[in-house]
Chains A and B, each alone.
Chain A
Amino acid sequence: MEERFIKVPALFQKLKQAEEEHCLLYIKALGGYGKSTAVQHYLRNKQHLTISGVKGFFDTMPPPDTIRQPVVVVDDISSLREKESIEYLGTLLEQPDKWFLLIGRSPLPMWLQARLSDRKVLLAVEKDLMWNPQQTRKFLADLEVEVTPEEAEQIAIDTVGHAVTIKLLAQRMREGLPYGAEAAEKTRIDLYHYLDHAFFGQWDEELKQAMLRLAGFDSFTLPMAQMITGCGNANLLLEKAMTISEFLQSDGPGSYRMRSILREYLLWKQNSELTPEQYNNIYYNAGLYYELQGDIQQALACYDKSKSQGKIAELLIKNSMKHPGNGHYYETRAYYLNLPKEQVESSPILMAGLCMLHSLLMQTEESEQWYEALKAFEQKPGITGSQRKEAKSRLAYLDIALPHRGSVGLSNMLKHVAVLCSKRSVSLTEFSITSNMPSVMNGGKDFCEWSKIDKELARTLKKPVELVLGNFGAGLVNVALAESAFEKGSMDAYDILSLLNSGYTMADTKGTAEMCFAIIGITTRIHISRKQPQLASSLLRDFKEKVIKEGQNHLLPNSNALSVAIGLFTGNVEAASQWLTQEAPNENVEFYILERYRYLVKIKAYLALGRLEEAASLIERLSYYFEQYQRNYQQIENGLLRAIVQYRMHLGNWKESLTHALQKAEEYQFVPVVAEYGAALQPLLKEAGELDLPKEYGQRLEQAVREFALAYPNYLEATQTLTEPLTEMEEKLLPLLCSGVPMEEIAARCGITYNTVKYHNKNLYRKLGVKNRQQVQVAARQLGLYGGT
């Protein structure tokens, strides 16, 4: 059966308009959209002359004044290269009595744009040629291929209304293949074979090789193209590609992007056109490019594709030396974890990296195994002096910084490191004390135990810490003392702020932005405790501006979380809700211990939004980590949050959670960490009555909680409330409904009829905003109206 011509109204309208107005029409689209067919069909009953530039020149060039036909079609204008043909066309276009139709695959060439600058030119583009679902269905029906309107719509979408693709699909479906994954896949290959002669076959060798090499990249710059193709004249090649067709487009200044259909085709073509060595070379060169640009992730991905294990290891080592803090181990974890064992065992830096990474992933056993391996390496005979020194330095770093080892015995480790540094046996890599937290005492490690003798330690360690820790120690001791004093209430607020300000000066001038952030975090808490949340907000706002200006963007996630935390004091629940949706990390996708601060803010946000189940779930995830990694401060916070959640869910062991958290806080004499929960905690303290705490501490705590509750009476109050209160009978029915008691039994227990139960249920559903019994339990829990198991 012959294909019937499918007329696409949009194009025909433009043809008609151009004819009526006697103006030039340029039809521009990728090959296979049926441009030439459509034009020939439109002109089938009209006298016209067609000339084609497909060979790069015109086969025939009749003198313009001898052409009798009123319509002239110039096809494949994008392919025209020869000077004589170009000049001929220029002369031809000057004929005023001819109507011209130009067909091409790219924007009008510059040489032609100049000639047409004072003429009206109508443009028809791809969307004027795309077949819609109705046209697709009609075409298929003509070939005795029946599809439903829904299938036709899907086909039109999947093929982007591309005529040739639809025709190829039709052939497959005529063979008996229904539309689906198999037909789509076979059609895709058929289309690639079409592109073999429609595109690839028409390119010169240099262009072919260049495009094949660039196909693997979403977008690329000119320098990247030069590096990957090895062509010094890549700019000319790219320009040529853009004039031949619109498959290559500019993606912004100096950036290019291939259309996905062409990219996919070329990636398929790589299998037959490139050897494995050539393939690996492409990605190796791309890796080099990204490495020079400092884009470690892309560089690693490319080296991985080129199977360059050596380069991956080399880059991981380089990156580790450049970023000694532990953030980048996690980002590059896939590569670390796939390194061959022998390769790791030959490098102290890689062993240390894996040791740290496993600790960050809460795989403490594996972490200790790599620590032992590194220790054994350091003691191995036959290694070079520099390798031994590197191993010793990395061991020293791990002794101080490994998260799972807590801070017990840490000062002894620092003593040992100080001895090694003085003998020049090690050079300690810099590392972040704060781990980007808004705290020093509760930063990279937990230093609650140190706060018991904070002043003594401050006097003893001030100079040594700065000597051993370098820039990362600037301001540290003053700030640590200030934070400890704030938590214990052992110093006057003025003295605390003085310490913080002096610490900030030191950190800002010769220290690190991380320390500045810790100081800002502590200072905002002081302002909040002094009932000045606006001052806290504006201080943080100014700091964020500084952070952005200085390019310290790694501090932004926790800064934004701190903003949310401050906002919760002033009832800004909307900001918390937005942050939860748009920015907060998702612990269900991956749980990462360096996100602990944001997880805790998430829990507070959940509480304020009445999302108790989610809060409970995250609390328990964190609980395990806080205990394993001896994070005392965060155990206190998490314990208090757990108590509040349990209380609101009406679960019976909230008192135990509360007592445990308060006893831990009392161990260190910490007050603000508890008091900040003010209004959220007050009902629990009231109901708990006498708690097993020393009298003096208990009284201080109670006073502080009361002050916070007065200053921030709505803190963490669930915004989700009943729009209408429940009646007495509804309150009686609710727990029975939630517990799954059958309706007849509910009626019997409540002394009412079955129909009356139904009536009350209906009202309950309305008040809870639910549609069925299953949803009732969830809603009731969320609102704290039901807490049964």
Chain B
Amino acid sequence: MKWKKDVILDKQKSWRLHLDDKVLPIAEGDVYLVKAVEEGICNDEDLVRLIAREEGIDETAAAFGLAQFLLDYSDFIAEDTAHYMITN
């Protein structure tokens, strides 16, 4: 995942996302994930592994955790334009 082009991450007092006139504070429990993204970890599988490690849960549960993160900050996340590979 990556942020939309004009998203600004404000780390002054508490962490916040800014895009145009939208502002969204980052929940305390999500800060480590945002930091990871800032450090260049953008691949979903890597993020899932990070969540699993950080929270001491398996990767299935961690995937749902990542999904919730994506949903919570969806307005600030860039659209995935890559072709979706259909698998059974």
Contacts and interface: CB of A to CB of B under 8 A. Distances in A.
Nearest to B58: A422
B63 interface: yes
Interface in A475-521: 478, 481, 491, 495, 498-499, 502, 505-506
Given A455-B80, A498-B86, A415 B64 contact: yes
B31 interface: no
B1 A456 contact: yes
Contact of A506 (B80, B84, B88): B88
A418 B87 CA distance: 23
Interface string A394-426: 000000000000000101101110110010000
A460 B80 contact: no
A460 B84 contact: no
A467 interface: yes
A411 B58 contact: no
Interface stretch (B5-13, B14-22, B32-40, B68-76): B68-76
Contacts of B77: 453, 456
B66 to A, nearest CB: 5
Contacts, number: 89
A180 B79 CA distance: 78
Interface in B20-77: 44, 48, 57-58, 60-68, 70-71, 74-75, 77
Contacts of B74: 449, 452-453
Given A411-B67, A455-B82, A418 B61 contact: yes
Given A460-B48, A462-B87, A502-B88, A453 B61 contact: no
B88 A464 contact: no
Chain B CB count within 10 A is highest, among A419, A450, A498, for A419
A86 interface: no
A409 B88 CA distance: 27
Chain B CB count within 10 A is highest, among A461, A463, A491, for A461
A457 interface: yes
A460 B46 CA distance: 11
Chain A CB count within 10 A is highest, among B58, B62, B64, B65, for B64
A565 to B, nearest CB: 28
Given A449-B71, A455-B80, A457-B70, A412 B64 contact: yes
B60 A412 contact: no
Interface string A432-462: 0000000000000000011011011111111
A780 interface: no
A467 B67 contact: no
Nearest to B57: A419
Contacts of A237: none
Nearest to B59: A464
A130 to B, nearest CB: 71
A456 B66 CA distance: 10
A6 interface: no
Given A422-B60, A464-B60, A481-B84, A415 B71 contact: no
B59 to A, nearest CB: 8
A468 interface: yes
B86 A456 contact: no
Nearest to B51: A415
Nearest to B63: A464
Nearest to A457: B67
A490 to B, nearest CB: 8
A455 B66 CA distance: 13
A499 B64 contact: no
A467 B60 contact: yes
Contacts of B86: 478, 495, 498-499, 502
Contacts of B60: 418, 422, 463-464, 467-468
B70 A460 contact: yes
A663 B1 CA distance: 27
Nearest to A461: B67
Nearest to A459: B44
B61 A450 contact: no
A453 B64 contact: no
Contacts of B67: 411, 414, 457, 460-461
A415 B44 contact: no
A411 B51 CA distance: 14
Contacts of B82: 455
A444 B74 CA distance: 22
Contacts of B64: 411-412, 414-415, 418, 461, 464, 468
Contact of A463 (B63, B68, B70): B63
A450 B82 CA distance: 18
A452 B44 CA distance: 17
Contact of B58 (A414, A418, A455, A456): A418
Contacts of A457: 67, 70-71
A344 to B, nearest CB: 31
Contacts of B44: 456, 459-460
A460 B84 CA distance: 12
A547 to B, nearest CB: 23
B36 to A, nearest CB: 15
Contacts of B58: 418-419, 422
A418 B64 CA distance: 8
Contacts of A506: 88
Contacts of B62: 415
A506 B79 CA distance: 27
B1 A412 contact: no
B42 to A, nearest CB: 11
A462 B60 CA distance: 10
B63 A453 contact: no
Contacts of A450: 71
Given A415-B64, A481-B84, 9 more contacts: A412-B65, A418-B60, A419-B57, A452-B75, A455-B79, A455-B80, A491-B84, A498-B86, A505-B88
Interface of A: 409, 411-412, 414-416, 418-419, 422, 449-450, 452-453, 455-464, 467-468, 478, 481, 491, 495, 498-499, 502, 505-506
5 contacts: A449-B71, A455-B82, A460-B63, A495-B84, A499-B86
The 7 closest A-B pairs by CB, nearest first: A415-B64, A418-B61, A411-B68, A455-B80, A411-B67, A464-B63, A414-B64
